[in-house]
Amino acid sequence: MTADPVLTLEDLEVWSRPGVSLAVLGHPIRHSVSPAMHNAALGELAREEARFAAWRYFRFEVPPDELPHALDLLHRGGFHGVNLTVPHKVLAFGRMKEVDPAARPVGAVNTLLRRPEGWAGFNTDGYGLAAAVRETLGRELGGAHIVLLGAGGAARGAAVECLQRRCASLTIVNRTRGNLDTLLSLLEPLAGGIPVRGLDAAGLAAGAPEGALVINATSAGLKASDPLPVELAALRAPAAVFDMIYNPPETALLRAAAGRGIPSANGLAMLVHQGAKALEIWSGVPAGRTAPVMATAARAALGG
């Protein structure tokens, strides 16, 4: 048995662990770095505060059609908190007893907190993005001209966060026009006077703002053979590039940014800060206290 075995619904059916249990559900879950991050942070907290000695974070392989049953079993089994990763964040949204107001426009939850009558849902990805951009690039989403690449789940969360933090403008670029239009219409009621528009790659040179913070929320870059999500040469003097992808640590987009002398960062800090915020929701321990140990554990788990 490894330190963080991959558990299944069968383990949940007979769950009887007495301590405070936390879990991450995904499909697939084997490569998740979250158990390493959270258990490292819990180990550190336990050295300082006895109440954390019985806290432990587990991972469960749960296919999408088994999610409702898994959430019921986790609640019945006394779990204190749950993280959700691909493909569960949107699927779980409608099964919450309550949803944090900031997470409602995102339509997705990644952190669940036990309430007596069911689960309360939160989304810490937006916080993770803002904290990571600040830490790695020294920039704020608020007041920035943002060029956001992608229109999937991560892009939607990022777009909502940028609007909630009052970015100066939001320009969204996506491969498939229909998906872009769907996202733009979801964002319309949230814009509150902030210019929000969609562009295709051909319109970038004329339409994208100068000096923008470019955020890649596409999955282009996960494989070495993937095309660039955007040609940086098509943008007018981008100020910085943040790529949500952290594995591989350097995507073609980040290499292109380095080649042009544009400050850039990968998504590892985002992963760390969304995790630290989730732990804050469960434990009350400020995210800033656990983020450093989580970052060390995440880097080690990713092999670097």
Does position 29 interact with ligand NDP (CB under 6 A)? The reply is no
Does position 184 interact with ligand NDP (CB under 6 A)? The reply is no
Nearest-approach distance from CB 18 to ligand NDP, in angstroms: 32
Q: Stretches 41-49, 74-82, 162-170, 172-180: which one binds ligand NDP (CB under 6 A)? A: 172-180
Does position 128 interact with ligand NDP (CB under 6 A)? The reply is yes
Q: Stretches 10-18, 30-38, 174-182, 204-212: which one binds ligand NDP (CB under 6 A)? A: 174-182
Kindly tell me which residue out of 133, 155, 279, 293 binds ligand NDP, with binding defined by CB under 6 A. Answer: 155
By the 8 A CB rule, do 137 and 161 touch?
no
Nearest-approach distance from CB 10 to ligand NDP, in angstroms: 28
Does position 151 interact with ligand NDP (CB under 6 A)? The reply is yes
| Residue 202 identity (one-letter amino acid) | A
Cα 262 to Cα 255: distance, rounded to the nearest angstrom: 10
Does position 35 interact with ligand NDP (CB under 6 A)? The reply is no
Q: Interface residues for ligand NDP in 243-262 (CB under 6 A)?
A: 244-246
Residue recorded with tokens 């952190």: 111
From residue 25, give the alpha-carbon distance in Å to each of 67, 79, 120, 136.
Answer: 8, 13, 16, 28
Q: Stretches 159-167, 190-198, 211-219, 232-240: which one binds ligand NDP (CB under 6 A)? A: 211-219
By the 8 A CB rule, do 240 and 147 touch?
no
Does position 270 interact with ligand NDP (CB under 6 A)? The reply is yes
Does position 182 interact with ligand NDP (CB under 6 A)? The reply is no
From residue 14, give the alpha-carbon distance in Å to each of 9, 30, 74, 116.
Answer: 9, 21, 11, 20
Point out the residues that are catalytic. Answer: 89
Cα 164 to Cα 152: distance, rounded to the nearest angstrom: 18
Nearest-approach distance from CB 84 to ligand NDP, in angstroms: 11
DSSP H helices, the chain, are: 9-13, 34-48, 67-76, 88-91, 125-137, 153-164, 177-187, 204-207, 252-259, 268-283, 287-301
By the 8 A CB rule, do 269 and 292 touch?
no
Does position 267 interact with ligand NDP (CB under 6 A)? The reply is yes
Q: Stretches 2-10, 35-43, 113-121, 146-154: which one binds ligand NDP (CB under 6 A)? A: 146-154
Residue with the shortest CB distance to ligand NDP: 152
User: Which residues on neighbouring strands pair with residue 199, listed in sequence order?
Assistant: 173
239: which DSSP letter? Answer: -
Cα 31 to Cα 34: distance, rounded to the nearest angstrom: 9
Kindly tell me which residue out of 226, 250, 299, 301 binds ligand NDP, with binding defined by CB under 6 A. Answer: 226
Interface residue list for ligand NDP (CB under 6 A): 125, 128, 150-155, 174-176, 179, 217-220, 222, 226-227, 229, 244-246, 267, 270-271, 274
